[in-house]
Amino acid sequence: MDSIGAQGGHGRPAGPALEDEAKHADEALRRSEERFRLLAENTADGIVMVDGDGRIVMVNEAAEGMFRYRRDELLGQPVEVLLPQALRQGHAAHRMNYAASGDARARPMSAGLTLTARRKDESEFPVEISLTPLRAEESTVVVAAISDISDRRRMEEQLKQTVEDLTRSNAELERFAYVASHDLQEPLRMISSYTQLLGRRYSGKLGDEADEFIAYAVDGARRMQRLINDLLAYSRLGADGRELGPVDSDELLERAVTDLGVLIEETGAGVTHDALPVVRADDTLLAKLFVNLIGNAIKFHGEEPPHVHVSARREGSRWVFCVRDNGIGIDRQYHERIFTVFQRLHSKEAYPGSGMGLAICKKIVEQQGGRIWVESSIGNGSAFFFTLEAENEQRIAA
């Protein structure tokens, strides 16, 4: 208040009205400066204000901390002191162009590029800068808002590294599964054919116990062949890099139902479906997906004759398919585990299978950019959901 009183000194020839106006203007200016100062001091960004000659005229506390200079060390210095030595000359030229271009607008600096700043101790750090020119009456100042993005960069690097490691270990695992299952096939074929030969040639000649043992060996070899074949099919999925295109899921469902004809007949299952859409997928893989899900829905039936219903609903750019059954259901705790390789919840005596079916389904869906999950509880049937990208074209003409 003192200073205002002094400025509006009584010696001036101005009348009281003019004096009041001047007082108000001073007060408004003081308030707006105070607001600006508060804003600048409380923002997490470093703020550096530079005049038309490229000299620093204001810095906030965050900038002091970021660059490790005291305010008085920076005021009046060319802004280039905040840059690595090698960039200073180029920056000065840039700055002059920016000022001379006449259309200096608020903008991020070198969007998409990593900018580097330099601290007093000459260490360097990555920054993001946004520039705002402020035109006062006789000069233009540029306000630079600077954020230190070291932490973000570090996290991005870590994430990139993790994705690379995961991709590599995934590829190695797939290669291992392929080589192992492929190389195991040959010796297994030999075991299988010779145990079958033993069975045929010596059945009834070596005693009941020997017949029983040979039967176990034949059965074991057959099951192992099935496991290895499924594992091989799993690791081969997608290896031939098929193109995704528009496919009519209605038609592929019909194809799957035909493939499952014997099982459907044996169990008296009913398979129904709504009208199904055209989606972006691979036809062979989608047919296999239907075969696996509908096959399971029939296989894991309860007391009632199996009934399976397939439907699809649109959600944004995707279709969510649902394969619902009235079977035995799956306890909540197994809803994720059943999608992993060789995971089964039942003995082979209760329900035959290798535990690969849903792992294959998951891989098929994910390769086509979708997701698969189950909703189910014991005794209440199961609903398997999966998503696929919609295809813009309308239904394919028959």
Q: Is residue 308 within the footprint of ligand ADP (CB under 6 A)?
A: no
The residues that bridge with 135 in the sheet, in sequence order, are: 140
Q: From the list 30, 68, 152, 346, which residue makes contact with ligand ADP (rule: CB under 6 A)?
A: 346
Q: Is residue 382 within the footprint of ligand ADP (CB under 6 A)?
A: yes
Cα 276-281-282 angle, rounded to 5 deg: 115
Of the pair 141, 341, the CB lying nearest ligand ADP is at 341
Q: Is residue 344 within the footprint of ligand ADP (CB under 6 A)?
A: yes
Site for ligand ADP in 63-102 (CB under 6 A): none
Q: From the list 109, 335, 355, 375, which residue makes contact with ligand ADP (rule: CB under 6 A)?
A: 355
- Pairwise CA distance, residues 104 & 358, whole Å: 59
DSSP secondary structure code for residue 13 in this structure: -
Of the pair 130, 343, the CB lying nearest ligand ADP is at 343
3-state secondary structure 85-96: HHHHHHHHHHHH
In which residue are the tokens 């994705």 written? 163
Q: Is residue 279 within the footprint of ligand ADP (CB under 6 A)?
A: no
Q: Is residue 354 within the footprint of ligand ADP (CB under 6 A)?
A: yes
The residues that bridge with 386 in the sheet, in sequence order, are: 321, 372
- Pairwise CA distance, residues 273 & 293, whole Å: 14
Of the pair 55, 344, the CB lying nearest ligand ADP is at 344
Q: From the list 237, 338, 372, 388, which residue makes contact with ligand ADP (rule: CB under 6 A)?
A: 338
CB of 376 to ligand ADP, least distance (A): 7
The runs of H, that is alpha helices, within the chain are: 2-7, 16-42, 61-67, 71-74, 85-100, 150-202, 208-236, 249-259, 261-267, 283-299, 357-367
Of the pair 228, 338, the CB lying nearest ligand ADP is at 338
SS3 97: helix
Q: Helix-strand-coil percent breakdown of the chain, rounded to 5?
A: 50, 20, 30
Q: Is residue 294 within the footprint of ligand ADP (CB under 6 A)?
A: no
Q: From the list 345, 366, 367, 395, which residue makes contact with ligand ADP (rule: CB under 6 A)?
A: 345
Question: Which whole-number Å values give the CA distances from 279 to 251, 289, 308, 359, 396, in the listed order?
Answer: 12, 14, 21, 22, 10
Q: Is residue 357 within the footprint of ligand ADP (CB under 6 A)?
A: yes
Q: Is residue 302 within the footprint of ligand ADP (CB under 6 A)?
A: no
CB of 226 to ligand ADP, least distance (A): 9
- Pairwise CA distance, residues 104 & 398, whole Å: 60
Of the pair 66, 358, the CB lying nearest ligand ADP is at 358
- Pairwise CA distance, residues 322 & 325, whole Å: 10
CB of 343 to ligand ADP, least distance (A): 6
Q: Is residue 234 within the footprint of ligand ADP (CB under 6 A)?
A: no
Q: Is residue 328 within the footprint of ligand ADP (CB under 6 A)?
A: yes
CB of 244 to ligand ADP, least distance (A): 24
Of the pair 54, 353, the CB lying nearest ligand ADP is at 353
Structural tokens at position 283: 């036809």
- Pairwise CA distance, residues 372 & 364, whole Å: 10
Residue pair 280/246 in contact (Cβ under 8 Å)? The answer is yes
CB of 312 to ligand ADP, least distance (A): 18
Under the rule (CB under 6 A), what is the footprint of ligand ADP?
A: 296-297, 300, 325, 327-328, 330, 338, 343-346, 353-359, 382
